[in-house]
Amino acid sequence: MGQRTKWGNCSARRNLSFNWRLILAPDYVLRYLVTHEAVHLAVPDHSTKFWLTVQSLCRETEEAKQWLCRHQAQMQVDLKDILKEAPEGGRLTTACS
């Protein structure tokens, strides 16, 4: 999957995968994307039936789509850039470490 351009995917083998950058998104956006890809397990296209099903399961569909459009550029961080800023040895530390 092109991780720079796709948020999620439902493969022909029925595997769901998601872009790692979604860790930057709010919970309601994640709920929408998981719902979107899960609905593809039953409806493989983007037909009216597909969108009605997604919207019936995730009331925040439009808000989540708008959030993704507004914040897409901000979420295009490159992991290499993040690791360049890491301390010597490339190990990132967090409050939990």
Can you give the pTM of this predicted structure?
A: 0.74
How far apart, in Å, are the Cα atoms of 58 and each of 3, 14, 29, 42, 80?
Answer: 24, 21, 10, 16, 34
Q: What is the pLDDT of residue 5?
A: 59
Is position 2 within any domain?
A: no
Is position 90 within any domain?
A: no
Is position 45 within any domain?
A: yes
Is position 62 within any domain?
A: yes
What domain range includes position 77?
A: 8-84
Q: What is the pLDDT of residue 84?
A: 72
Q: What is the pLDDT of residue 1?
A: 44
pLDDT tens track, the chain, 97 positions: 444 558 999 999 999 999 988 988 999 999 999 999 999 999 999 999 999 999 999 999 999 999 999 988 887 766 676 667 666 655 555 444 3
